[in-house]
């Protein structure tokens, strides 16, 4: 079956190993399959749901495109663009927000986490952000959406919004209800400092994550300092319950080496963490360093990156403009 793939990444700086293993690595595989039509979006409208410095944002938009390219997404095969250049995203988000229920958005755990205790001070954009995400996906009749595990709830909401719009406007199947593509394993990479907390760009400690722009010494140092427990490496996956740090590091190793968790456990059974960590740092350097070097090289040529976004926006714009026109007709405009 031909798949229409859509996914997005926020240009908020510090793209990390979680973004890579949870999402971008899968984008590359999907991009390489000739049967797929892929669209990868730098979601800059999502980024401004929290305060951004304009110059920093511009730099981060380019860095996100550079990361897509450096990881292996081919702009000749996939559309790469940034969201703000296709105005249909904002228009569709407004229309869809008028069919979405406050009760649905109140359930979103990510808003609760990001807004923290002072919910009253969060922006309205942060609250309605999943509706914009639904607009992104639905404008392109996307069939599959590859994301990390943390986006699951937002995708369920997107499906609800599509169905509600189709019902409200008596247009069965008009908005295509998408399928999430979330890997069963390693789709939630945890912090290197706390195995119960997601690896995140907003964690104040840089030691909690491997950034995709880290160099050799930073990667080795972060793995050396990663939290572990006093026990030796586990003998079986059963030993991993109540050992979140060991589970996370073994998960990272397995994902990077494309091995199953079971195979990785057998490889390091009963050994010391130090020996495992040395090997983990080695495979991470092997994987991340070429990406990091390529990102830095690409960032020297902002015109090249801007041209890719312009070309991608033109292509995405054609698809999205057609869909938003149909949406407006259905609504009665």
User: Under the rule (CB under 6 A), what is the footprint of ligand TYM?
Assistant: 6-10, 18-19, 22-23, 43, 46, 133, 136-137, 145, 147-148, 150-151, 154, 187-189, 198-199
Neighbours of 48 (CB within 10 A): 17
Of 198, 222, 277, 323, the active-site residue reads 198
Q: Are 269 and 211 in contact (CB under 8 A)?
A: no
Output 13 or 232, the one with its CB closest to ligand TYM.
13
Neighbours of 331 (CB within 10 A): 13
164 is catalytic: no
- Minimum distance of ligand TYM from residue 9's CB (angstroms): 4
Of 58, 114, 176, 227, the active-site residue reads 114
225 is catalytic: no
Of 77, 183, 201, 296, the active-site residue reads 201
Residue nearest ligand TYM, Cβ-based: 22
Output 146 or 234, the one with its CB closest to ligand TYM.
146
- Minimum distance of ligand TYM from residue 271's CB (angstroms): 26
- Minimum distance of ligand TYM from residue 303's CB (angstroms): 25
Output 144 or 266, the one with its CB closest to ligand TYM.
144
- Minimum distance of ligand TYM from residue 182's CB (angstroms): 8
- Minimum distance of ligand TYM from residue 295's CB (angstroms): 16
Output 147 or 299, the one with its CB closest to ligand TYM.
147
119 is catalytic: no
Output 112 or 271, the one with its CB closest to ligand TYM.
112
**Which residue numbers are catalytic?**
114, 198, 201
């Amino acid at each position: 079956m031909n798949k229409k793939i859509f996914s997005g990444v926020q240009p908020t700086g510090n793209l990390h190993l979680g973004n890579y293993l949870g999402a971008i690595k899968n984008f590359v595989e999907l991009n390489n399959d000739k049967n797929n039509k892929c669209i990868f979006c730098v979601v800059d409208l999502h980024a401004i749901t929290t305060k951004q410095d304009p110059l920093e944002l511009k730099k981060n938009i380019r860095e996100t495109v550079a990361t897509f390219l450096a990881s292996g997404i081919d702009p000749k095969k996939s559309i790469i663009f940034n969201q703000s250049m296709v105005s249909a995203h904002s228009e569709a988000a407004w229309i869809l927000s008028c069919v979405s229920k406050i009760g649905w958005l109140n359930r979103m755990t990510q808003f609760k986490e990001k807004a923290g205790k002072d919910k009253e001070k969060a922006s309205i954009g942060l609250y309605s952000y999943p509706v914009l995400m639904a607009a992104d996906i639905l404008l392109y009749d996307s069939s599959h959406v590859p994301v990390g595990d943390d986006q699951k709830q937002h995708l369920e909401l997107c499906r609800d919004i599509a169905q509600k719009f189709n019902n409200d406007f008596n247009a069965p199947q008009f908005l295509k209800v998408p399928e999430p593509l979330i890997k069963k394993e390693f789709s939630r990479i945890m912090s290197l400092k706390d195995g119960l907390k997601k690896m995140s760009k907003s964690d104040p400690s840089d030691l909690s994550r491997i950034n995709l722009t880290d160099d050799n010494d930073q990667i080795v140092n972060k793995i050396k300092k990663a939290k572990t427990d006093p026990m030796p490496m586990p003998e079986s996956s059963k030993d991993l319950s109540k050992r979140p740090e060991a589970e996370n590091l073994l998960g990272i190793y397995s994902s990077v080496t494309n091995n199953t968790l079971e195979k990785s456990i057998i490889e390091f059974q009963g050994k010391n963490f130090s020996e495992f960590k040395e090997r983990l740092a080695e495979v991470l350097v092997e994987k991340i360093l070429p990406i990091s070097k390529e990102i830095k090289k690409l960032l020297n040529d902002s015109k090249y990156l801007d041209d890719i976004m312009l070309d991608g926006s033109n292509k995405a714009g054609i698809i999205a403009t057609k869909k938003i026109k149909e949406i407006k007709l259905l609504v009665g405009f």
